[in-house]
């Protein structure tokens, strides 16, 4: 069975004010002292009000969910010791007037020098899903095939509607914030892995990015693992939801690997249509329409159903159909994380949002 791994980013919030607090070093150190957390499972991020967790390589969704619950609990316990709480939300609903401190690493200091305002506004949290692939070449071709589904995944995972204390009107404001970096958003189509490597080296040689970590594409080949890394998702409110998304993405990658090996042509879509579809998905989430594989605008529920039908054989083979079907029903019936944050804001203001995301 194809393996998966999940990375999640969380904000650290003051539970009373809902504001981000720069306590990542302390929280990470405390979490690392527990016997339930292995080295590198809890990591620093760009800003000191964020931490990242990374699961081991997993074979099943139950295994991934268990690791996420373990790591979330470890971070929450460590954060409580320092008077804050982790918040799995795509953007910080509120911000201080002064920027949060940058983590003291050369890479992060260089990024602050390169783009101080972007770094100051990088209070955004994603979820990254790694799916094992047989080779980099096959992984590259999977990337090309998955592009058309990234807007739908973005809409389904939307969990960042709030910024500076108000509703942005976007379901995934994180998508907009992240799109401002030089190499971000939808990746281009690559002919093969040699083309990918050549163009990445050209970016590095130009000095426009300092390392491959600044390839902020929504899907990329992992530089450390034999995986495709899908990066378009907002972090999810609940660990079981995150694990179900990992199952959905594994099934999508598996489906495209099978199509590749069968010689089925890759779906085609113009770059400008993909970018516009992504913007539309970030704007509306599942509350309006999405763009299907033929470039037609249809009700979001119809496009989500099309995705589920597309990957059902792979879901069945992995035994994940009940989990992912439950996820799609949950999102269409009860709404995304963005919908839940908006409902909390309407019912009880920003304090209710803080209670929801950092409860």
Query: What are 217-230's pLDDT values in tens digits?
Result: 999 999 999 999 99
Is the predicted pLDDT of residue 231 greater than 90, yes or no? yes
pLDDT of residue 32: 79
Closest to 153 in 3D by CA, of 21, 47, 290: 290
pTM score of the predicted model:
0.97
pLDDT of residue 38: 86
Closest to 47 in 3D by CA, of 85, 101, 125, 113: 101
The dihedral region occupied by 169, where left means phi > 0, alpha psi between -120 and 50, and beta the remainder, is left
H runs (alpha helix) in 192-269: 193-206, 239-261
pLDDT of residue 49: 97
Is the predicted pLDDT of residue 248 greater than 80, yes or no? yes
Q: For a pLDDT cut of 90, what percent of the chain falls above it? A: 94
Is residue 131 classed as helix, strand or coil in its secondary structure?
A: strand
pLDDT of residue 359: 82
Angle between helices 193-206 and 136-146 (to 10 degrees): 80
Instruction: Report all structural domains of the chain as residue ranges with CATH numbers, in order of start.
Output: 4-357 (3.30.590.20)
pLDDT of residue 75: 97
Report the pLDDT averaged over residues 193-207. Answer: 96
Is the predicted pLDDT of residue 65 greater than 80, yes or no? yes
Report the pLDDT averaged over residues 44-69. Answer: 97
Is residue 33 classed as helix, strand or coil in its secondary structure?
A: coil
CA gyration radius for the chain? 19
Is residue 137 classed as helix, strand or coil in its secondary structure?
A: helix
| pLDDT grade for 208, boundaries at 50, 70 and 90 | very high
Is the predicted pLDDT of residue 345 greater than 80, yes or no? yes
Q: Which residues contact 353 (CB under 8 A, 6 or more apart)?
A: 18, 93, 162, 341, 344, 345
Go through 7-27 and write b for each residue having 16 or more CB atoms within 10 A of its CB, e for each that does not: bbbbbbbbbeebbbbbbbebb
Q: Which residues pair with 52 in a beta bridge?
A: 9, 43
Report the pLDDT averaged over residues 41-53. Answer: 96
Q: Taking all residues of the chain, what is their mean pLDDT, rounded to a whole number?
A: 96
> Distance between CA atoms of 84 and 101, rounded to whole angstroms?
16
> Distance between CA atoms of 48 and 100, rounded to whole angstroms?
7
Report the pLDDT averaged over residues 132-145. Answer: 97
pLDDT of residue 23: 97
- Both tokens of 156, joined, read 């389904």
| CA neighbours closer than 13 Å in the CB half-sphere of residue 204 | 11
pLDDT of residue 344: 98
Angle between helices 321-334 and 300-318 (to 10 degrees): 160
pLDDT of residue 282: 98
pLDDT of residue 183: 96
pLDDT of residue 53: 97
């Amino acid at each position: 069975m194809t393996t998966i791994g999940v990375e999640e980013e969380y904000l650290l919030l003051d539970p009373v004010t809902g504001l981000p607090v720069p306590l990542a070093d302390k929280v990470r150190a405390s979490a690392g002292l527990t016997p339930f957390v292995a080295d590198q499972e809890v990591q620093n991020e760009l800003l000191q009000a964020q931490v990242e967790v990374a699961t081991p390589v997993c074979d099943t969704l139950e295994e991934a969910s268990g690791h996420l619950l373990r790591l979330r609990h470890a971070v929450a316990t460590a954060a409580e010791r320092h008077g804050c709480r982790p918040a799995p939300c795509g953007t910080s609903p509120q911000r201080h007037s002064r920027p949060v401190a940058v983590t003291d690493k050369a890479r992060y200091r260089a990024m602050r020098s390169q783009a101080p305002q972007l770094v100051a506004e990088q209070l955004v949290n994603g979820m990254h899903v790694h799916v094992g692939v047989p080779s980099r070449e096959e992984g590259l071709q999977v990337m090309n095939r998955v592009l058309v589904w990234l807007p739908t995944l973005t809409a389904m995972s939307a969990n960042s509607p709030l910024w500076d204390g108000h509703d942005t009107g976007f379901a995934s404001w994180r998508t907009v914030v992240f799109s401002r970096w030089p190499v971000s958003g939808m990746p281009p189509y690559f002919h093969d892995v040699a083309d990918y490597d050549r163009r990445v080296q050209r970016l590095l040689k130009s000095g426009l990015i300092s390392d491959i970590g600044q390839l902020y594409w929504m899907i990329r080949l992992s530089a450390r693992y034999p995986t495709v890394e899908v990066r378009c998702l907002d972090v999810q409110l609940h660990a079981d939801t995150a694990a179900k998304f990992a199952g959905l993405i594994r099934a999508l990658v598996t489906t495209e690997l099978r199509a590749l090996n069968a010689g089925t042509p890759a779906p085609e879509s113009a770059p400008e249509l993909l970018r516009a579809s992504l913007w539309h998905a970030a704007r509306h989430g599942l509350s309006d329409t999405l763009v299907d594989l033929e470039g037609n605008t249809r009700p979001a529920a119809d496009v989500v159903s099309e995705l589920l039908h597309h990957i059902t054989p792979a879901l069945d083979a992995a035994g994940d159909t009940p989990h992912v079907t439950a996820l799609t029903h949950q999102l269409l019936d009860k709404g995304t994380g963005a919908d839940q944050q908006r409902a909390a804001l309407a019912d009880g203001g920003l304090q209710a949002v803080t209670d929801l995301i950092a409860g």
